[in-house]
Chain A
Amino acid sequence: DSGVTQTPKHLITATGQRVTLRCSPRSGDLSVYWYQQSLDQGLQFLIQYYNGEERAKGNILERFSAQQFPDLHSELNLSSLELGDSALYFCASSVGLAENTGELFFGEGSRLTVL
């Protein structure tokens, strides 16, 4: 158990809908990262937050948004869903910043299926 909690574990929805994925980082971790994993694209970095502030942005679509709340939990919002958004979405956390602290702790992921 990594200590990172993601909900929901599975989600099935229709095209055009909006969903929210939630992540609770390990106790004491200030950084939260979101990754998307699909069969054809591998593990893609989406966005990183550090202590409530957006820190780095990767291949995140404009239809997607995220935030980190004062209690350090984070939410990833996916809107106007398309079939291609079907993927595993991972949240990870670390004490500090990736370039300094290294190890990321991953949750078990939220599997999104868009029909």
Chain B
Amino acid sequence: SQQGEEDPQALSIQEGENATMNCSYKTSINNLQWYRQNSGRGLVHLILIRSNEREKHSGRLRVTLDTSKKSSSLLITASRAADTASYFCATVNYGGSQGNLIFGKGTKLSVKP
């Protein structure tokens, strides 16, 4: 079952603009992660934010976490054509006896030069 759900499903912007993607999840979490996937390639970890953190930065990436609303956002500033990819949020699902990382369906970002 999906734990995180990204919104929007697709986003098209011009180079230089900011891109904001949102993720909502259902259950309590220890941390939330964002991954990037270029078309047909493996996923690449971008950033992890822990449940006791509200905001985290990494280069042009800014992630926020609101545990009261069970939501997170990923902001990419000054986007570039090379940022074109799908972006996924992921949380640990404690369904059953063990934890495993569950991904949302992703936001497909297209950055036009």
Known contacts A42-B2, A102-B31, A103-B33, A58 near B43 by CB under 8 Å: no
Check: A48 CB closer than 8 A to any chain B CB: yes
CA distance A33 to B94 in the complex (A): 15
Check: A66 CB closer than 8 A to any chain B CB: no
A92 to chain B, nearest CB (A): 8
Chain A 32-63 interface mask (CB, 8 Å, partner B; 1/0) = 01010000001101001000000111100000
User: Which of B18-26, B62-70, B100-108 touches A?
Assistant: B100-108
Check: A97 CB closer than 8 A to any chain B CB: yes
Between A and B, how many residue pairs show CB distances below 8 Å? Answer: 68
Check: B98 CB closer than 8 A to any chain A CB: yes
Q: Which of chain B's residues has its CB closest to A43's CB?
A: B103
Contact B100 A42 (CB under 8 A): no
Contact B45 A98 (CB under 8 A): no
Chain B 16-49 interface mask (CB, 8 Å, partner A; 1/0) = 0000000000000011010100001111110010
Check: B76 CB closer than 8 A to any chain A CB: no
Residues of A within 8 A of B48 (CB): 102-103
Contact A56 B42 (CB under 8 A): no
Known contacts A56-B99, A58-B100, A98-B99, A109 near B33 by CB under 8 Å: no
CA distance A108 to B44 in the complex (A): 10
Contact A109 B104 (CB under 8 A): no
Partner of B42, one of A2, A57, A102: A2
Contact A45 B96 (CB under 8 A): no
Check: B109 CB closer than 8 A to any chain A CB: no
Q: A: which residues have CB within 8 A of B?
A: 2, 4, 33, 35, 42-43, 45, 48, 55-58, 88, 90, 92, 97-99, 102-109, 111
Sample (21) of A-B pairs whose CB atoms are under 8 Å apart: A2-B44, A42-B2, A42-B103, A45-B100, A45-B101, A45-B103, A56-B98, A56-B99, A58-B100, A97-B99, A98-B92, A98-B100, A99-B99, A102-B31, A105-B45, A106-B42, A106-B44, A108-B42, A109-B40, A109-B41, A111-B40
